[in-house]
Structures are given as C-alpha cells and as structure tokens.
Amino acid sequence: MKSIHTITALKFVAFFFILIGLFISSAMATEEPDFSLILKEENIEIREYAQKIIAQVEVSGDFDEASSRGFKLLADFIFGNNITDEGSEKISMTSPVEMYSLENNIQITSPVMSEEGSGVWSVNFTMPKKFTLESLPKPANTAVEIIQVPKEKYVVIVFSGLVTESSYNEKAELLDNYLKAHNLETIGPVKVARYNPPWTLPFFRRNELMVKIN
C-alpha cells in the first residue's frame, strides 16, 4: 500500500504537469507579432519585426497602476467597445502587452520603475494579423489610438519571473552593456513586453526588455 506521502507527491507531480500543459496550450493559442531573428546570444536577440497594427493608450501612475489602467482600456476595446458596420466585434487577444515610459526616452538605465513616484506611460496590444486599418473595428473610446507601425529592428533581452524594479534595472543594465559593446545606436525608449496573464506562475512567465536600433 502506497504511503500518504507518496500519494501526495504523485498528486503534486500530476498537478505540476497539468499546469505545464495549460501554459503551453495557452501560449500556442495566442498570436504574436511576426519577426525575423537576426542574431541570438544567450538571452539577447536582435529581431526585425514586420509591419503591424497596434492599439495604444496613454495612462499615468506608477508602473503597476499604469499597467492595470492601460490593460483595462485596451481589453475594453477588444472585448467589444468598438464600432463596425454591423455594430461591434470581439477581437482576439494577442501577446505581448507592451509598455514604456513617455518621460524617460533617452537613458536605457533610467529608473522608470521607481515605486516612489508616478509617470506617464504608453501601453499597447498588437492587433491580429488578419486585420487591416480599414477592416479593424474603430475604438468607441477616444483614449484608444490605432497606429500602423512600420518594419522595425530591436535588440531584446528575454527573462522570466516578475517584472519588478530590481529585475528591470538588472536587465536594463545588461541590455545597455550589450548595446555599448556592439556600438549599436538606439532609437526611443526601452519597452517592457509581457507575454502571460497575471495568474501565470512567476517561473513560467516570459518577459522582455526591447529597444529599437538603427
């Protein structure tokens, strides 16, 4: 007869693999922007992204407050607060959710995630590739802006866990060191890209810091 400890351990292992299955199936079902991988060195990549359409809002607060406000406004748009010839339309969720400070556009290592202050942020979702500017539903809320983004090249650092002030600062410094070592000229601010819903366990989460280059 199996011991209680053995049964408990087996249940935990089964639960663990169920979580992995749910995570993988969720990730596979969510559309992501198209890009070509130019170079990969450990957890740093250089990517060229294809043209895409984004829905974008500007919000204020600290990182967590602004993230929540921005997500709610964009989710409201894709869940049906929009206008089409037939009334409204639900739009599929994509990943990642991108976010960057509108007040720190020069220094990569600027302390944009300080918990002691608030700022102004841009938050955006990429729209599913099936849409064009003409076919995409129009936002009913004027706070949501639709933008067509041209082909762009980014240096990206990939990491797991929670996006916190300390993890941001650590990865931003690594990203800055890489850019300087390779004499790469940057354009604009560092973006935080998060790929997973908030209930995802930290060690399953995929995050990125990304900065556009010439």
Give pLDDT, residue 24.
Answer: 46
pLDDT tens, residue by residue, 136-165: 999 999 999 999 999 999 999 999 999 998
Pair of tokens at residue 95: 């990943």
- Where along the chain do its domains lie? 1-30, 31-213
Q: Do the Cβ atoms of 144 and 55 come closer than 8 Å?
A: yes
The CATH H-level (homologous superfamily) assignment of domain 31-213 is Regulatory factor, effector binding domain (3.20.80.10)
Give pLDDT, residue 199.
Answer: 86
pLDDT tens, residue by residue, 81-120: 999 998 999 999 999 999 999 886 656 656 666 655 578 9
Give pLDDT, residue 1.
Answer: 52
* Mean local confidence (pLDDT), 118-126: 92
Least Cα distance to 123 among 73, 196, 50 occurs for: 73
* Mean local confidence (pLDDT), 159-180: 94
pLDDT tens, residue by residue, 22-72: 444 444 468 999 999 999 999 999 999 999 999 999 999 999 999 999 999
Q: Is the pLDDT of residue 20 over 60?
A: no
Pair of tokens at residue 71: 């997500």
Least Cα distance to 102 among 117, 124, 119, 126 occurs for: 119
Average pLDDT, the chain: 87
Give pLDDT, residue 25.
Answer: 42
Rounded to two decimals, what is the model's pTM? 0.83
